[in-house]
Structure 1
Amino acid sequence: MTPDLECTHLTKRFGDTAAVDSVSFSVPPGSFFSILGPSGCGKTTIMRMIAGFLEPSEGDIQIKGKSVLSVAPNKRPVNMVFQHLALFPMMNIADNIGYGLRRAGLPKTEIDQKVGEALERIGLPGIGLRKVDELSGGQKQRVAIARCMVLEPDVLLLDEPLGALDLKLREHMKIELKSLQSAFDTTFVYITHDQSEALVMSDNIAVMNNGRFEQMGSARELYYRPDTAFVAGFVGDTNRWRGRISKKDGQNIELQTESGMMLRGATHGRPLALGEQADMFVRPEAIRIAHSKDDLAVFDNQISGQVTSLLFNGAASRVLVRGEGLQDEIEVNLPQSGEFASLNKGSDVHIGWSSDQGNCFAAGTV
């Protein structure tokens, strides 16, 4: 099957700096693909090259199997939703959505039909005569997408479109965007620095850093089996310890931390050598908390300590534990059973986790 979008060795240099450094990827038809990374990593530069606003220094961009390098931005079968939406405040909603269709010279009856269908698909029928400033933030978001989708692009580009929304609306719109993508059955390419947005909505994600892709895969693959220390630290919350490899048996290793504690983990990326300095990453939800050490007999990492902070967040509540022999506090998810409801600052607890939950990478690679 021909990808809707395929970029090959895509490179963009500004002087001696490579903002995008030989990036290759393909996006299957009808999928939701996200590029996730910190500010300045090059993700917006990729999107601007796909849209035609920037010319690549090297590489090729193909849409539906055809190169678009020589195609002007307004002639490419792509459209773009910007962070601040760029709706026209002097126009009503119907005129906003139909703007591109009028520019294309379609007859009014066809424009009215397409605009009506678009409003139905975004769940806002009958608001065509309303003004932009009469809509909520989420409604404006849907109108901006409808304005793009009536032009029937092969690929819709979304440049951090939720960045200007408040937290509660942003959480709601993550679900809305995924539903809209399914409703229109159009390929979405989404860029964001917010890992939650990428994890919730995407079929596949590329994690970007310093102009390159560190790893591409499903949300589950990136979260549970990161290929690099950068991905392990950037995607999701994690505990991190530094030390030296004191023992190894294939992928299984033992890490002696800087404070002298021995922790067991595993390598899933480059093999590590005895004596090499390394970082171990363990997710908060991978760590079991208990009142008695006997309850942790199945775990090959066990630490006793005291609660230093309670981080209440409903079902996502956590505690920070100062473990004996470790310098840094350990972040641990609280079970929802209620048996730890009486925990307070200073409470004695025991924690444990399996060695296969400790992802280890060479130190200094973040």
Structure 2
Amino acid sequence: MTPDLHCTDLTKRFDDTTAVDNVSFSVPPGSFFSILGPSGCGKTTIMRMIAGFLEPTSGDIQIKGKSVLNVPPNKRPVNMVFQHLALFPMMNIEANIGYGLRRAGLPKEEITRKVGEALERIGLPGIGHRKVDELSGGQKQRVAIARCMVLEPDVLLLDEPLGALDLKLRERMKVELKSLQAAFDTTFVYITHDQSEALVMSDNIAVMNEGRFEQMGSARDLYYRPDTAFVAGFVGDSNRWNGRVTKQNGDHVEVQTSSGLTLRGATHQRALSIGDQADAFVRPEAIRIAHNATELASFDNRISGHVTSLLFNGAASRVLVQGAEGGEEVEVNLPQSGEFASLTKGAEVHIGWSSDQANCFAGGV
């Protein structure tokens, strides 16, 4: 099956700076693909090259099997939703959605039909007569997407479109965007620095750093089986320790941390040898907390200590635990029921986790 979008060896240089460095990827038809990375990593540059606002220094961009190099933006079968939605305040909703159709010279009857269908799909039927400033932030977001989708692009590009929304609305719009993508059955390419947005909405994600893709895969792959220390630290929350490998057995190692703690972990991607610097990552939800050390006898990583902080966040509450021998505080998910519901600062506790839950990578990253 021909991908809707295929980029090959895509590179963009600005004088002596390489913003995008030899990136290749494909996006299957009807999928939701996200490029996730910190500010300045090159993700917006990729988006602008796909849209035609920038020409690559080298490489190729194909949409449905045809190269779009040297094709101007208005002739490419793509459309783009920006963080600042740029809706026309002097027009009502129908006029905003139908703007591109009028520019294309479609008959009035066809424009009315297409706009009506778009309003149905975004869940806003019957309000086309309203002004833009009468809409909520989430409704404006849907109208901006509908304005793009009525033009039936092969690929819709979304440049951090939720960044200007408040937290609660942003959480709701993550679900709505995924539903809209399914309703229109159009390929979405989405860029964001927000890992939660990428994890919740995407079929596949590329994690980008310093102009390159560190890893591509499903949200589950990136979260549970990161390829690099950058991905392990950037996607989701993790405890991180740095140290040296003191023992090695197959794809498992023992790491002596700089604070004197001995950790056991797995090297799923690249083998480490005795003496190598290593970074170990353990997610807070992988760690079990107990009042009695014997409850953790099955774990090959165990620490005894006390609670230094309670981080209340409803169902996502956590505690920080300081080991009895010092070292880094460990962030642990807090069970919401039973004996730990009333845990207090200073309480003596024990924590433990399996070596298979600790991802170890070459250190110095």
Q: TM-score, normalised by structure 1?
A: 0.99
1:120-172 C-alpha deviation (Å, 9 max, x unpaired): 00000011111111100000000000000000000000000000000000000
Aligned residues: 365
1:8-44 C-alpha deviation (Å, 9 max, x unpaired): 0000000011100000000000000000000000000
Secondary structure of the structure 2 residue equivalent to 1:342: coil
Aligned pair 1:21/2:35, yes or no? no
Aligned-residue offset at 1:324:
2.3
Which residue of the partner structure matches residue 59 of structure 1?
59
One-letter amino acid of the structure 2 residue matched with residue 260 of structure 1: G
Secondary structure of the structure 1 residue equivalent to 2:45: helix
Rounded to whole Å, the distance in 1 between the matches of 2:326 and 2:183 is 50
Which runs of structure 1 show a deviation greater than 3 angstroms over 4 or more consecutive aligned residues?
Answer: none
Rounded to whole Å, the distance in 1 between the matches of 2:64 and 2:349 is 57
Rounded to whole Å, the distance in 2 between the matches of 1:193 and 1:66 is 30
Identity level (%): 84
Secondary structure of the structure 2 residue equivalent to 1:230: helix
Which residue of the partner structure matches residue 12 of structure 1?
12
1:48-74 C-alpha deviation (Å, 9 max, x unpaired): 000000000000000000000021100
Rounded to whole Å, the distance in 1 between the matches of 2:8 and 2:221 is 23
Rounded to whole Å, the distance in 2 between the matches of 1:247 and 1:14 is 46
Aligned-residue offset at 1:287:
0.1
Which residue of the partner structure matches residue 123 of structure 1?
123
Secondary structure of the structure 1 residue equivalent to 2:38: coil
* Unmatched tracts of structure 1, length 5 or more: none
Which residue of the partner structure matches residue 190 of structure 2?
190
Aligned pair 1:152/2:147, yes or no? no
Which residue of the partner structure matches residue 49 of structure 2?
49
Which residue of the partner structure matches residue 234 of structure 1?
234
Rounded to whole Å, the distance in 2 between the matches of 1:90 and 1:148 is 18
Aligned-residue offset at 1:326:
4.1
Rounded to whole Å, the distance in 2 between the matches of 1:326 and 1:191 is 40
* Unmatched tracts of structure 2, length 5 or more: none
1:310-362 C-alpha deviation (Å, 9 max, x unpaired): 11111111101011234211000012333201210000000000000110111
Secondary structure of the structure 2 residue equivalent to 1:320: strand
Q: TM-score, normalised by structure 2?
A: 0.99
Which range moved further: 260-269 or 171-180?
260-269
Q: Output aligned runs, 1:133-212, within 5 Å.
A: 133-212=133-212
Which range moved further: 330-339 or 221-230?
330-339
Rounded to whole Å, the distance in 2 between the matches of 1:87 and 1:349 is 55
1:197-221 C-alpha deviation (Å, 9 max, x unpaired): 0000000000000000000000000
Q: Output aligned runs, 1:349-360, within 5 Å.
A: 349-360=349-360
Aligned-residue offset at 1:84:
0.6
Which residue of the partner structure matches residue 110 of structure 2?
110
Secondary structure of the structure 2 residue equivalent to 1:200: helix
Rounded to whole Å, the distance in 1 between the matches of 2:338 and 2:197 is 30
Secondary structure of the structure 2 residue equivalent to 1:50: helix
Which residue of the partner structure matches residue 314 of structure 2?
314
Which residue of the partner structure matches residue 263 of structure 1?
263
Which range moved further: 328-337 or 352-361?
328-337
Which range moved further: 238-247 or 337-346?
337-346
Rounded to whole Å, the distance in 2 between the matches of 1:41 and 1:323 is 36
Retained in 1: the 8 A contact 2:55–2:70? no
Which range moved further: 78-87 or 271-280?
271-280
One-letter amino acid of the structure 2 residue matched with residue 294 of structure 1: T
One-letter amino acid of the structure 2 residue matched with residue 28 of structure 1: P
Which residue of the partner structure matches residue 273 of structure 1?
273
Which range moved further: 265-274 or 108-117?
265-274
Q: Output aligned runs, 1:32-111, within 5 Å.
A: 32-111=32-111
Rounded to whole Å, the distance in 1 between the matches of 2:346 and 2:325 is 17
Over the aligned positions, Cα root-mean-square deviation in angstroms equals 0.7
Secondary structure of the structure 2 residue equivalent to 1:9: strand
Rounded to whole Å, the distance in 2 between the matches of 1:93 and 1:159 is 22
Aligned pair 1:249/2:246, yes or no? no
Secondary structure of the structure 1 residue equivalent to 2:213: strand
Rounded to whole Å, the distance in 2 between the matches of 1:62 and 1:334 is 48
Which residue of the partner structure matches residue 300 of structure 1?
300
One-letter amino acid of the structure 2 residue matched with residue 42 of structure 1: G
Q: 1:225 to 1:326 in 2, by over 3 A?
A: farther
Rounded to whole Å, the distance in 1 between the matches of 2:191 and 2:324 is 41
Retained in 1: the 8 A contact 2:94–2:129? yes
